[in-house]
Amino acid sequence: MDENHNHEETVLFKVNPEDEENKARAILLKVYQALKEKGYNPLNQLVGYLISGDPAYITSHRNARSLIRQVERDELIEELVDSYLKQAEADRS
């Protein structure tokens, strides 16, 4: 346990710059399309990869496996959560 952090304090998580978010978004879309083209369920495959970190969940079709490894998994999750929350907020308006 880090002695510098009290359990009562909120730890700040630094969000990536916009260019990293755009890279993550672009890669997710390319990987999604490659999985779809090969007949996989993209949602299941991406969730498997994000949870396990095992690139075997991602097809090598269209270089998707190499592409997804260019972005850290936490950045991909950040992009997905950000997109979901923005859409949810728009739906409420």
Contact 22, 45 (CB under 8 A): no
Q: What is the pLDDT, as a whole number, of residue 7?
A: 72
pLDDT at 20: 65
Q: What is residue 31's predicted lDDT score, i.e. its pLDDT?
A: 98
Residues of the chain with pLDDT under 70: 1-6, 13-21
Instruction: Report yes or no on 72 lying in a domain.
Output: yes
Residue 35 is predicted with a pLDDT of: 98
Count how many domains the chain has: 1
Q: Does any domain span residue 84? A: yes
What is the per-residue pLDDT for 80? Answer: 95
16 located within any domain: no
Q: Are the C-beta atoms of 36 and 64 separated by less than 8 Å?
A: no
